[in-house]
Each structure stands twice: as structure tokens, then as C-alpha cells.
Structure 1
Amino acid sequence: MAVDVLTEIVIDRPVHVVAEYVADPSNAPEWYANIESVQWQTEPGVAVGSRMDFVAHFLGRRIAYTYEIVEFVPDERMVMRTAQGPFPMETSYQWSAPDNRSTHMTLRNRGEPSGFAGVAAPLMSAAMRRANNKDLARLKSLLESR
């Protein structure tokens, strides 16, 4: 069973501010509760082909994985993918401007878990949705307080 979780939020900051912050994976541990660390494999700087090692905790497990940026349009969209492990994942961010002062942001996680992770896909989807909503609320709080 596939996992496909879409969450969204409106942040009262211009698109370029939100997109610049979110598109820098080095900032992920500050606003994602489950991400412990990010280490660049390639030279820092977001571009198609950039690779980063992430360490996260999810559903009581420590998970280490490498993301590669496969699509990047500044101030519009970024897509990262990983293929290793029991749960290949794609994470995408999209930003748009409902007005000059705010940003509508979507966060989408999707993948095809295998083995036990495949059986637990409905539980994983629900947990991922809860975590993403909390992370987006934290992101909103961080960026709106700057």
C-alpha cells in the first residue's frame, strides 16, 4: 500500500523568505521535530543533484537515509527523493503567494513501503500527517517571529 500525505499551511511571510529557508536542508532540524541531523554529501547549496544524509526518528525508530534533490525551481518547488531502505520516499515542497505578504506552502511525502513497513502503511500515513502538521505549525511560528 502506498503512502501519500499532503499537508499545507499559510505563513505570514513572503514566498522568497519561506522558500529560501525551507529549501535549505540544513534548516530541517530546526523545524522538523523528528529530524536529528543533516550532513551534506555534496557541496552545500541547493541544486538538482545535491545530496544530503539525514538522521531522523519516526515511530520509535532511528532512520538514516540520503536524499537527492531531483527538481528545484527557486521560490516555487523543490523535490527530494531517496531510494534506499525499506521505505523509498519522495518529499516535495511547493510555495505560492496568495498575496504579497504571505505564502501558501504544501508539503507532500509519498512512497511505497515494503515488508513490515508496507503492512503498517495506514499507521505510517496517520503518524506522518500528525507530524507534518506539527512541523508546519513550528515552521510558521519560527518564520513569523523573525
Structure 2
Amino acid sequence: MQVDVEVSDHIARPVGEVAAYAGDPTNAPEWYVNIRSVEWQTEPPVRVGSRMAFVAQFLGRRLAYTYEVVELVPGERLVMETAEGPFPMQTTYTWVPEGTGTRMTLRNTGSPSGFARIAAPVMRRAMHGAMTKDLRRLKTLLEAGR
């Protein structure tokens, strides 16, 4: 069973600013509800092939996984895939000018296996809620001048 969750929000800041902040994995613990830490495994900045180890807390469980950047169009799109971890996942950020600000979309897709496959409907709802909170937090931080 495929899990595919997408959320978006308008952020009243220029595309370049939103993309620079959100697209830097070092900032993830500041705006992602569930991410506890990020450790670069390659030298920053973000580029295709960059790898980062994330530790998150989700549905009461500690998750450790490694993302690899597989696509980067600066200021428009960033795609990362888990290179290691319990749930194969692809995360896509897109940034589009909207009025005087930015429309940011966050999408997570993956194919859970084992017990996670059975729990996919619950996982999908939990992911949607967390991702909605993540974008709200990002919006709040950036609009406050972060």
C-alpha cells in the first residue's frame, strides 16, 4: 500500500528566502515537529548526492534514517529519498511564487512494509497532521523574520 501525503501553504516571504531556509536540512529541527536532529554525512551545502542522517520521533517511536538528495532545482524543487531506514520514503519540496510570497508544497510518498503496511491508513493521517503543523511552524518562523 502506497502512502502519499501532500500539504501546502502560502508563506508571505520571497521564494528565495523560503527555499534557502526550508531547503537547508540543518534547519529541519527548528520547523519539523518530529525531527530531533540532523547530521550531515557529506559536506554542505545541499546538492544532488548530499546525504544527511535524521533522527525523528513519530507515533511514539524513535526513527533513524538517512536521506539522499536526488533532485535539486534551486529555488524551485528539492527531492530527497531515504537511503537507509525503516520506511522507504521520498520527500519533495516545491516553491512557487504566489502574490508577494511563496506557495510551498511538502509531499511525502513511500511504500511501507511489514507491520507499517497494515498501519498505513493511520500513518497517512498522522503524517498529514504532522506535515500541516510543520508548514505552519515554518510559515510562522519565516514571517516573523527568522
1:67–1:81 contact (8 Å) kept in structure 2: yes
Distance 1:83 1:51 in 2: 8
Percent of pairs with identical residues: 64
1:86–1:115 contact (8 Å) kept in structure 2: no
**CA deviation vs aligned residue, 1:40-97 (integer Å, no higher than 9, x gap):** 0000111000000000000000000000000000000000001433310000000000
Name the Cα RMSD after superposition. 0.7
1:111 aligns with 2:110: yes
- By how many angstroms is 1:33 displaced? 1.1
Q: What corresponds to 1:138 in structure 2?
A: 137
Q: What corresponds to 1:80 in structure 2?
A: 80
**CA deviation vs aligned residue, 1:105-127 (integer Å, no higher than 9, x gap):** 10000000000000000000000
Q: Which amino acid aligns with 2:117?
A: G
Q: What corresponds to 2:68 in structure 1?
A: 68
Q: Which amino acid aligns with 2:27?
A: N
Q: What stretches of structure 2 of length at least 5 have no aligned partner?
A: none
TM-score, normalization: structure 1? 0.97
How many residues are treated as equivalent by the alignment? 145
Q: What corresponds to 1:48 in structure 2?
A: 48
Distance 2:64 2:90 in 1: 15
Q: Which amino acid aligns with 2:12?
A: D
Q: What corresponds to 2:4 in structure 1?
A: 4
2:68–2:83 contact (8 Å) kept in structure 1: no
The 1:22/1:79 distance shift into structure 2, 3 A limit, reads same
TM-score, normalization: structure 2? 0.97
Distance 1:143 1:74 in 2: 18
Q: Which amino acid aligns with 2:110?
A: G
